[in-house]
Amino acid sequence: MRRILLCLAFVLFLLSMWMALTVGRIEGPPANPDSVVRNILYTHVPGSICALLCFFVLLVASVAYLCTKNPKWDILAAAAGEVGAVFATILNVTGMIFSRAEWGLWWTPSPRLITSAILWFLYIVYLILRTAGLPGSQHRKAQVCAIFGIIAFLDVPLVYISARLIPDIHRPNFSFGSNEQRAALVLGMVATLLWAAVLIWLRTEILRNKARLEKE
Amino acid sequence: MKYSWLSFKAIFVKDIVTELRAKQVLPTMIVLGMLIVWILRIACEAAPASTAIIGPAALWIAFLFSGILAQERSFAAEQHQDCIYGLLLAPVDVGTIFLAKLLVSVVILCIFEIIIVPVVLLFFRLNPSNRLFDLILVLLLGNIGISAIGTLFSAVVHFSGSLLSIVVLVVLLPMMIPATFALLFLFGAIPEHLAGSGALAFVGSFKTAVGYMVAFDAVFTVACWLLFGFAVKE
């Protein structure tokens, strides 16, 4: 099942990339209209949505763990944290590449870029907590990570969504206007969401087996 | 209600008296804070015009790092001979314990601020002039934010110092942006024409910055109060 989903995600991703570079191609910046650099948005936008969704999964799993003390929720939170960190890295790296091509800057302290960096830092600290070898029982460690997961998520709506409501100079001066562009974006988004779901599934299974082996 | 108040008062007085008698953390905080301020002031010599910009940042850096020292200690004393279990076994609501510990932390940080803020104002030649009330408000809001997060995470037993630092710092990072800009507005370090652009689009005015800080404090204090029970109980 997982293989089928992974293959499907890969095919959809390739299709999205093909559309992005052909029929749905976004014209380059005014200085260099032939450049394909703006098309990195087809990876950037799905990446950012997946990073946020992974954080939401992390929140739900953390709350569920604190309420039920069932280790399966802790494992799901760990998997969502790891996959979310990957997508947050993709979000920041592709954003920096786009920013460099569009405004000539790798990074500047605008609301959008600050909040994306904060999101990345929150994920990384979550992973540090996970791997820090905290003393105490497994339940205690899981409890600490769940509490951090919940508190960290509170930062997300406070800064991430509010930043999107504020006028920001670093807003691209184009949109996905044509139907082909929108179709390429939707395909890319479905493919990336499938990647994220399968990766979380895979990591959950690996972590569950690891926990079982440690117990034996 | 009266019982909760009495418990709150007992825990608060116990912790404050212990700290003021033993002086375990305040001297260290003050020296660390002064060293940070002093080093940044020396760096400012390269560009004397930037003192009004570096000053507020120096104040928050000193405040954050010294504040974490206070937080580390907050529950360390309770770990000694498992005193924490005695506290938890007492018929006191865990929320009351959290609020008492939070207030202790706020008071210790206020004492620290009373000493460090004049040093910063003097070193960086900053003059809050007729906006002293605004300065106290901003410092108090920052104080509550760091105390709430710090108290929750220091309650998570056997937390190592470095780990506590990064956890508190990363959670407080979004609040430190409006906090720094509030002081920059207060000391007139931001030219009028820059307000509302770039990073300042976030916090276009002093009032917006303070509004953000109030929102952060409210959300984090309530969340930490609700989660405290999970943090101290196995």
Domain regions of chain A by residue span: 2-215
> Is residue A37 pLDDT above 80, yes or no?
no
Residue reference for tokens 């930037």: B50
Q: Do B158 and A134 touch (CB under 8 A)?
A: yes
Q: Do A152 and B171 touch (CB under 8 A)?
A: yes
Please give, rounded to a whole number of angstroms, the shortest distance from the CA of B156 to a CA of chain A: 7
**Residue of A7 and A20 predicted with greater confidence:** A7
**Residue of A23 and B143 predicted with greater confidence:** B143
Q: Do A125 and B220 touch (CB under 8 A)?
A: no
Under the banding of pLDDT at 50, 70 and 90, the label for residue A180 is confident
pLDDT, one tens digit for every residue, chain B (234 residues) = 778 888 889 989 988 888 888 777 888 889 999 999 999 888 888 777 778 888 888 888 898 888 888 877 777 777 777 777 888 888 888 889 899 989 999 999 999 999 999 999 888 888 877 788 888 999 999 899 888 988 888 877 555 556 777 788 888 877 787 888 888 888 777 766 666 665 566 667 788 888 888 988 898 899 999 988 888 776
Q: Do A118 and B220 touch (CB under 8 A)?
A: no
pLDDT per residue as tens digits for the range A53-76: 999 999 999 999 999 989 999 999
Is B200 in CB contact (< 8 Å) with chain A?
no
Q: What does the DSSP assignment read for chain B?
A: -HHHHHHHHHHHHHHHHHHHHH--SHHHHHHHHHHHHHHHHHHHTTSGGGHHHHHHHHHHHHHHHHHHHHHHHHTHHHHGGGHHHHHHHSS--HHHHHHHHHHHHHHHHHHHHHHHHHHHHHHTT---TT-HHHHHHHHHHHHHHHHHHHHHHHTSTT--HHHHHHHHHHHHHHHHHHHHHHHHHHTT-S-GGGTTSGGGGTT-SHHHHHHHHHHHHHHHHHHHHHHHHHHH--
Is B216 in CB contact (< 8 Å) with chain A?
yes
> Is residue A18 pLDDT above 60, yes or no?
yes
Q: What is the DSSP letter of A22?
A: T
The whole-number average pLDDT for the span A32-52 is 82
Which residues from B are below 8 Å from A158, CB to CB?
174, 215-216, 219
**Residue of A158 and B223 predicted with greater confidence:** B223
Q: What is the pLDDT of residue A167?
A: 61
Report the run of H or E that residue A121 belongs to, with start and end.
helix A111-131
Q: What is the pLDDT of residue B194?
A: 64
Q: Are B106 and B24 in contact (CB under 8 A)?
A: no
The whole-number average pLDDT for the span A25-31 is 72
**Residue of B39 and A171 predicted with greater confidence:** B39
Q: What is the pLDDT of residue B34?
A: 92
What b/e string do you get for A85-111 counting C-beta neighbours within 10 Å, with b at 16 or more?
bbbbebbbebbbebbebbeeeeeeebb
Is B225 in CB contact (< 8 Å) with chain A?
no
Q: Which of B171, B214, B224, B233 to mutate to test the interface with A (most CBs of A within 10 A)?
A: B171
Mean pLDDT, chain A, integer: 83
Nearest to A111 among B156, B199, B227 (CB): B199
Please give, rounded to a whole number of angstroms, the shortest distance from the CA of B68 to a CA of chain A: 16
Q: Do A128 and B163 touch (CB under 8 A)?
A: yes
* List of residues 6+ apart from A178 with CB closer than 8 A: A24
Q: What is the pLDDT of residue A162?
A: 60
Which residues from A are below 8 Å from B199, CB to CB?
109-111, 114
Q: What is the ipTM of this complex?
A: 0.79
Is B152 in CB contact (< 8 Å) with chain A?
yes
> Is residue A169 pLDDT above 70, yes or no?
no
Q: What is the DSSP letter of A149?
A: H
Q: What is the pLDDT of residue B190?
A: 72
Q: What is the pLDDT of residue A160?
A: 64
User: Which residues of A fall below an 8 Å CB-CB distance to B?
Assistant: 66, 108-111, 114-115, 118, 121-122, 125, 128-129, 132, 134-137, 139-140, 143-144, 146-148, 150-152, 154-155, 158-159, 163, 166-169
Is B166 in CB contact (< 8 Å) with chain A?
yes
Q: What is the pLDDT of residue B94?
A: 86
